[in-house]
Chains A and B, each alone.
Chain A
């Protein structure tokens, strides 16, 4: 069960995330014309103070790059995507980049990853609970960071965060992206309400 959500809501959220990522995987496979595998998302509610450790446990002790994107509408929050440095070039080819990437293009790829994965995941969930969600332009947190430096919990305005870990694999190019959805404390309630409504429509 996820903190702040009851058992039904937790199960529903997991299910919606599965479906959302599944759909996203299919859509991406269509664009990229390569088989895309998205792992079943692992969802957990974590203490904000534990986020740096969580990210470290996702990726291990290696340099990472990270980007973020805000979303708003039916529920509000931010998506954070962490990837390890070596994953980027393969993905850039899929995105239609040609030749060696320059510094600006490397940043752009990072921004696109958070946009695509965040959109697929949060957008997927929102669509199924019939919530309208908009996204702001993504921004860069940094490249070649220590995993512990991606988030400074002291600068977060929240106590808990919804963490959603997905592994993302395209044929033989493997990219593991880790996604964390940060929801302000009061927004967990909003999400719970939406999940309840969704559950009602299922029963009806």
Chain B
């Protein structure tokens, strides 16, 4: 191949390549402008030959581009721009006017030094490659990755929620099984209490009999010989017989009272967890409150005075064991809201097809920024190891399962009031006549 052919071939390539090619001299005058550049800029090579790049295209970023081209002249090295950092050099329409969705042709540019025989850079040739298609693919890929990242994040969130739900379930199950345990223990205690109680009854009778006998003895004491009388009175004095006589009756009475207390607690415990009769029942909410108060009485005795303002609402179809749990959580929370001592007021009432219970305290109250969050699982303001922050979330879920509502009003420094609203009927028991019958029973 001779030089002439080479030149023709080179010209052909420069002209026909799907690539913008142009060249400038050290004064930034255009010395080469190929067909691609012509087509896209609308300016022909003839019209541009010799004219200054920056006067012809004033929209070019002059100060930066000058420096860039100057550095290629000075250093004799390649230079580049990439669409990722600089979308384009020339603002050309891109080749995807319809399906593209980008505003202009995205370009990768290469700046090439064209050197003379002595190695001095005579011209800088700039090629301009349309990267719109690649860029679009890349953008879609990036979008797809973002979407799948987003999806992963959502999954992660779901996993966390699931974990929360599991913990809540665990917590409420734990409470339930504590209840069961308590009921089991209560049942076990019931038997010994039974015979202690009956023994105590026998003991009381026996002591009364014994006392009768003693009274007769004492009335005959004067008839005994002097020595025997002296001996008796010495012993009586030693054992403080007069006191023993009185105390015996008191002891037995106190024991009976104490035992009665134990029996009530045991009965309440059984009532509270209702292992024997779990599930949906028709219950008297005021009785629920009373048993709950008995169970937690130790917890709150030294912190709160309890005031009941009962409105005697109708019986309600509910799972009493669960409602007891809710009440217990609310009462315990209330008792923990007092810096010193306070008052817990328990109210009940009826409202249309609903019955409500209010647990009000005059404690520290809840700041408004926390008010949104107290029903969240694990939200607690109590010191580590004290509260799990699950109490209210369990309450919330139980009430929701009853198709009721758990709401709160609170003012910092004044106190809080939690309100449980429960529908009277659920139809969960199948025989709603039973419920209606229960309601019509005169009290």
Interface residues in chain A, defined as those with a beta carbon under 8 Å from any beta carbon in chain B = 24, 27-28, 30-32, 94-98, 104-105, 107-108, 111-112, 115-116, 119-120, 123, 127, 134-135, 137-138
Contact = CB atoms under 8 A, between A and B. Distances in A.
Contacts of A127: 76, 119
A127 B80 CA distance: 20
B175 to A, nearest CB: 49
16 contacts: A27-B75, A28-B71, A95-B64, A96-B64, A96-B66, A96-B67, A97-B63, A98-B63, A104-B84, A104-B86, A105-B85, A115-B79, A115-B80, A116-B71, A135-B77, A137-B80
A137 B85 CA distance: 13
A164 B356 CA distance: 81
A98 B78 CA distance: 23
Contacts of A30: 74
B82 interface: yes
Contacts of A135: 77-78
Contacts of B108: 137
Interface of B: 63-68, 70-71, 74-82, 84-86, 108, 110, 119
B79 A112 contact: yes
Q: What 7 A-B pairs come out closest when comparing CB atoms?
A: A119-B77, A96-B67, A27-B74, A96-B64, A108-B85, A96-B63, A137-B80
Contacts of A119: 75, 77-79
Contact of A31 (B63, B71, B119): B71
Given A28-B71, A95-B64, A111 B82 contact: yes
B85 A111 contact: yes
Contacts of A95: 64, 67-68
Given A96-B65, A96-B68, A98-B63, A120 B80 contact: no
Contacts of B84: 104, 107
B78 A134 contact: yes
Contacts of A98: 63-64
Give the secondary structure class of A's interface.
helix
Contacts of B75: 24, 27-28, 116, 119-120, 123
A134 B79 CA distance: 11
Contacts of B78: 115, 119, 134-135
Contacts of A116: 71, 75, 77, 79
A124 to B, nearest CB: 9
* Candidate in B66, B85, B110 with the most chain A CB atoms within 10 angstroms: B85
A30 B80 CA distance: 20
B211 to A, nearest CB: 93
Nearest to B70: A31
Nearest to A71: B78
A137 B84 CA distance: 12
A31 B73 CA distance: 9
Contacts of A27: 71, 74-75
Contacts of A32: 67
A107 B85 contact: yes
A73 to B, nearest CB: 12
A134 to B, nearest CB: 7
A95 B79 CA distance: 13
Contacts of B71: 27-28, 31, 116
Given A28-B75, A134-B78, 15 more contacts: A27-B71, A28-B74, A31-B74, A32-B67, A95-B67, A97-B63, A97-B64, A98-B64, A105-B85, A107-B84, A108-B85, A119-B77, A119-B79, A120-B77, A137-B82
A83 to B, nearest CB: 16
Contacts of B74: 27-28, 30-31
B50 to A, nearest CB: 24
Contacts of B86: 104, 108
Contacts of B82: 108, 111, 137
A123 B71 CA distance: 14
A107 B86 CA distance: 10
A73 B77 CA distance: 14
Nearest to B64: A96
A108 B81 contact: yes
